[in-house]
Structure 1
């Protein structure tokens, strides 16, 4: 079996394997020299995989694959905190196991590193250090487009972004509402996320009719009114093509602005 990578000595490790070891196999991970000096030899290990618990929903199958979103990170952290506390009573270590699949491997490593940053107070570089030399290198994340990726987003990039979000109050672990995040990110519930809590929301462009020409149900401008007024939203900025009449917002008390640029492209200097 491959050697686990230690994240927290005697408590938490990470394993890439073709299969998840049985928790009846009495696997062990060597303890630290400090623990051995107290007479301890090796710690039994509890193996846990989250590959199928936290899954990325791609926009284009076969292209974009991550990183796993903030609710995934939040619930993973809660799970690890709970398991570490539970296993400490049994003198067991927790080992998070991921598969050899490159995409799942990258997402699992992202979760592990994010945990170290959010719950163990590590810097992005410290959180990434245990896996930075893993071979083969992690597949970088990419944009949701059916074309060659022109920018590789690494796990370290994501960690630095998460650190900034924490520093500026965009993400507060203790106040984060995971249930609300998961609810509103669903297309049938608005397909929206707070970018800057209390100030800026990103949401899917409304459609002129609920039943679209594609046969799917969509949100119309009116479907957003109640939630936007409840959250104090006063202005709408449309970046994509005009498929609804802006007056449906302006005649109901919202400001509306158009700054069009090609979907998947970059805004102009003027925008």
Structure 2
């Protein structure tokens, strides 16, 4: 504890300065409490928590700073969640030092070199130090029922391309992936960052999971089946990352060099036919298995738009399956239409 307190005192009050930065001319902090912060899993000391209480009940706000044993800092405006060591001092104070209105805790955490993840912070203007990264198209999942992910391989590819572009276009900046509010949005953002680490950086699923241990299990949510009923199983982030790692190992999918294909998958073709407007057909095992929605017996034409969804004829799917190299079809559900 003595070494941690000494480390905290040697921060030259930068932690307090960042908290009070927006209060210049109207200081509200009237009390400071210092307490050790321990890991819930191991019970080991992980830092010193400085609790700053505001001066008026109307403010009803307490700021937290956590000084980690390694000298990193965290700012958190949620009293119910222990803060985590995050970015170095300058970046952390610029990103997190702002008043926000949200139900969840605010954080920004560097998970790999020059790449951070943040949630519940206001959109900030990109500078020569860091970039606000909000890849809406790649992070959007089109649900069937109450499902919310995981993202398709085409979405993963789009995310990797966008993040590569950010990192190469702004080599002196840290890129901050700003997740939307909610556990599901954070889960999808974490999944995409983990997918980047596995496919682009070629890390293993275990190492990726370790880089997100600071989040805690309650911060994310297991993926579920495409229904509105109570799910009887959950697909965890670790499950998905292990699948990607295995797919990379056997050559099904990999992050390509310029102009090359993503392993055995044609990502553009996958995105096209995976769209519900183009057939909702997906390559499950490259060169071996394709899954698609059962066709309808339509009066005329290849497709029909009715009841808020698009249905396709058997003739339409015959052309799609021929293009995908399918030679045999197995029908699972009963005939439709």
Task: Give the whole-Å Cα distance in 2 for the aligned partners of 1:51 and 1:106.
Answer: 14
Q: Deviations over 1:145-169 (max 9, x none)?
A: 1111111111111100111122223
**TM-score normalised to structure 1 length:** 0.74
Alpha-carbon deviation of 1:235?
A: 0.7
Deviation string for 1:89-115 (max 9, x for gaps)?
xx2111111133111111001001110
Change in CA separation of 1:94 and 1:163 when aligned onto 2, cut-off 3 Å: same
Residue of structure 2 equivalent to 1:124:
205
Shift of residue 52, structure 1, vs aligned partner: 5.6
Instruction: Write the deviation string for residues 175-203 of structure 1: whole angstroms up to 9, x where unpaired.
Output: 13332222111233221011111221111
Aligned position for 2:240: 158
Following the alignment from structure 1 to structure 2, what is the Cα–Cα distance between the partners of residues 6 and 119? 17
| C-alpha distance in structure 2 between counterparts of 1:23 and 1:14, whole Å | 15
* Residue 77 of structure 1, aligned match among 160, 164, 170: 160
Alpha-carbon separation, structure 2, partners of 1:113 and 1:21: 24
Which residue of structure 2 lines up, in the alignment, with residue 178 of structure 1? 267
Which residue matches 1:218?
Answer: 311
Indicate the structure with greater strand content.
Answer: 2
- Contact 1:51–1:99 (CA<8 Å) still a contact in 2? no
Which ranges of structure 2 fall in alignment gaps of 5 or more residues?
Answer: 1-95, 97-105
Match of 2:144 in 1: 59
Greater relative contact order (CA < 8 Å, ≥ 6 in sequence): 1
- Equivalent position SS for 1:4: strand
Q: 1:207 aligns with which of 296, 303, 311?
A: 296
Residue 21 (1) aligns with residue 124 (2): yes
CA 130–215 in structure 1, closer or farther in 2 if over 3 Å, else same: closer
Say how many residue pairs are matched: 221
Q: CA RMSD in A?
A: 2.1
1:184 aligns to what SS in structure 2? helix
Question: 4+ runs of 1 displaced by more than 4 Å?
Answer: 212-217
Return the offset for 1:214: 4.3
Go from structure 1 to structure 2 and tell me whether the alpha carbon gap of 1:139 and 1:51 turns closer, same or farther (over 3 Å shift): farther
Q: Which residue of 2 aligns with 1:107?
A: 188
Structure 1 gaps, min length 5: 27-43, 245-271
SS of the residue aligned with 1:6?
Answer: strand
- The structural deviation recorded for 1:20 is 2.2
Q: Distance in 2 between matches of 1:19 and 1:224?
A: 46
Task: Give the corresponding residue for 1:260.
Answer: none
CA shift in 2, pair 1:222/1:50, >3 Å: same
Q: Is residue 227 of structure 2 the alignment partner of residue 134 of structure 1?
A: no
- d(CA) in 2 for partners of 1:110 and 1:116? 10
Separation of aligned partners in 2, 1:181 and 1:193: 7
What residue is the counterpart of 2:324 in the other structure? 231
Aligned in 2, Cα 1:213/1:70: closer, same or farther, shift over 3 Å?
A: closer
| Maintained 8 Å contact 1:51/1:98 | no
Structure showing greater radius of gyration is 2
Q: Deviations over 1:114-157 (max 9, x none)?
A: 10111111100111222223144311111111111111111111
Structure 2 distance, partners of 1:84, 1:74, is: 15
